[in-house]
Structure 1
Amino acid sequence: MMKNNVLIVVDMQVGVLAIPRYDREGKAALINQLIDAADVVIFIQHAEGEMGVGGDLWQIIPELQQPAHAHYVTKTACDGFWNTTLDALLQRLGINAFTVCGCATDYCVDTTIKVGASKGYAITVAADAHTTADRTYARAQQLIGQHNEVWAGLSLPGNPVTVIPVATILSAWRSPL
C-alpha cells in the first residue's frame, strides 16, 4: 500500500536560479532526498518573459532529479494555484496533503503555501529545503527563517501548516504504515 508522500517543488528552474540564491547546492541536495523518497512529485514551473514554456531558462535545474512519473504544472503568477492545473491535478490524484519546497521563499513558495492552506490542503513545509535571494532590507537566511516562523504560526483553525526539516519528513515517510 502506497503512503502517498507527495512533494511539490516550486520554481527550481534555470532562469529563477540564475539570480544567486542562498545555498543553491545544499537546497538542491535536500530536495533530491525528498524527490527520492516521494511517491508523487509535482514540479511547478514559472513561465514569464524570457522563461517561456519549453525554453532553456524554463527548465528544471540540471542538479535536480526528475522521476519518470513526475507531474509538471506551469504557472504565470506567484501562486501555484492561480489559473493553473495544480488544484485539478491534486483532486484527480486524490491528494489532500503535500510537502512543499523550492524557490523563492518570499514569493512563489510563500504564496503557494498560503493559498493551498486556505484551500484546505494539509501542508508540510520542508523548513530547510527552500531558498531565496538577498533582498534590499533582509538577507536570504533571515527571510527563510522569518517565513518558516510565519508559516508555522498561520492562523488557520483546524488546518495548521507544519514546518519541519527534511530529516524529520524523511523519517516519517520511511516509517512503516
Structure 2
Amino acid sequence: MSLRPALLLIDMQMGLFHGPARPHDADGLLARCLALIAAARDAGAPIFAVRHTGPEGSPIAAGSPAWQLLSELGLDPARDMIFNKTRPSCFYGTQLASWLAERGCDSLVIAGMKTQYCVDTTCRVAAELGLKVRLAADAHSCMDTPALKAEAIIAHHNATLAGPFAQVLPTADIRF
C-alpha cells in the first residue's frame, strides 16, 4: 500500500523565529523547511502550516506581528491549509485529522518548532491516530534552555521519537 503524505509545518512564526532567542541553526532550519515545501509542491502533496495562538494580550495573540507565519516560507492560503492551535498538539481543538482524512493522507512529514513541545507532542499524537509519521531530523528546532542546549534537546527527541512514534530522517532523504 502506498502512502499519501502531507507536510505539516509547526509554529514557524515571526515571534518564535525572530524573537529575542533565535532557534538553533535558524538559517538551516528555514532552508530545510523551504526544501520540504518545494518537494511537497513538486509531488502535489498537501501542505499544512499551523500557528500557535496565545491568549488576548500575549505576544503571539491572533493577529499580532509575532503570531504571523514567516513570509519567507511562501505559503499561500489559497492552496495551503493554514490553521491555528492553542495547545502543543496540532490535533487538539483543530480539524487536522479530518482534513488529512478528506485528502486521503495517511502519512505526515513534520517540521518546525519547538522540538520539545509542539513537534514532540504532534509526532506522538499522530502516531496514536494511526498516521505514519516522518520527522525531518534536521528541520525542527528550539532554543537553548537553562538545563540543556538546543542541539542536545533536538538530538534527544530525534532518538526518543525514532521507532515507536516516527521514522526520523534527514530532510534530504524525505520523499513525498
Which range, TM-score by smaller chain? Answer: 0.7 to 0.9
Q: CA deviation at 1:69?
A: 1.2
Q: Secondary structure at the match of 2:73?
A: coil
Q: Deviations over 1:64-95 (max 9, x none)?
A: 22144110121001111111121121122121
TM-score (norm. length: structure 2):
0.88
Consecutive unaligned residues in structure 1, runs of 5 or more: 155-159
Which of 80, 84, 87 aligns to 2:90? It is 80
Count of equivalent residues: 164
Look up the equivalent residue of 1:64 and give its one-letter code: L
Between the two proteins, what is the percent identity of the paired residues?
32
Q: Secondary structure at the match of 1:91?
A: helix
Whole-Å separation in 2 of the counterparts to 1:93 and 1:73: 16
Q: Is the 8 A contact 1:96 1:122 kept in 2?
A: yes
Whole-Å separation in 2 of the counterparts to 1:60 and 1:80: 15
**Structure 1 segments (4+ residues) deviating >4 Å:** none
- Do structure 1's residue 139 and structure 2's residue 141 form an aligned pair? no
- Bigger mean CA deviation after superposition, 50-59 or 31-40: 50-59
Quote the residue 1:57 is aligned against: 66
Which of 142, 166, 172 aligns to 2:171? It is 166
Q: Is the 8 A contact 1:134 1:140 kept in 2?
A: yes
Which structure has more relative contact order (CA 8 Å, sep 6+)? It is 2
Q: CA RMSD in A?
A: 1.5
Look up the equivalent residue of 1:15 and give its one-letter code: G
Q: Is the 8 A contact 1:4 1:40 kept in 2?
A: no
Whole-Å separation in 1 of the counterparts to 2:116 and 2:130: 21
Quote the residue 1:123 is aligned against: 133
Q: Deviations over 1:83-112 (max 9, x none)?
A: 112112112212111100000000111001
Q: Is the 8 A contact 2:10 2:112 kept in 1?
A: yes
Whole-Å separation in 1 of the counterparts to 2:63 and 2:94: 16
- Bigger mean CA deviation after superposition, 83-92 or 27-36: 83-92
Look up the equivalent residue of 2:16 and give its one-letter code: V
Quote the residue 1:157 is aligned against: none
Consecutive unaligned residues in structure 2, runs of 5 or more: none
Q: CA deviation at 1:53?
A: 2.0
Look up the equivalent residue of 2:170 and give its one-letter code: P
Look up the equivalent residue of 1:8 and give its one-letter code: L
Q: Is the 8 A contact 2:5 2:106 kept in 1?
A: no
Look up the equivalent residue of 1:54 and give its one-letter code: G
Q: Is the 8 A contact 2:133 2:166 kept in 1?
A: yes
Q: CA deviation at 1:4?
A: 4.3
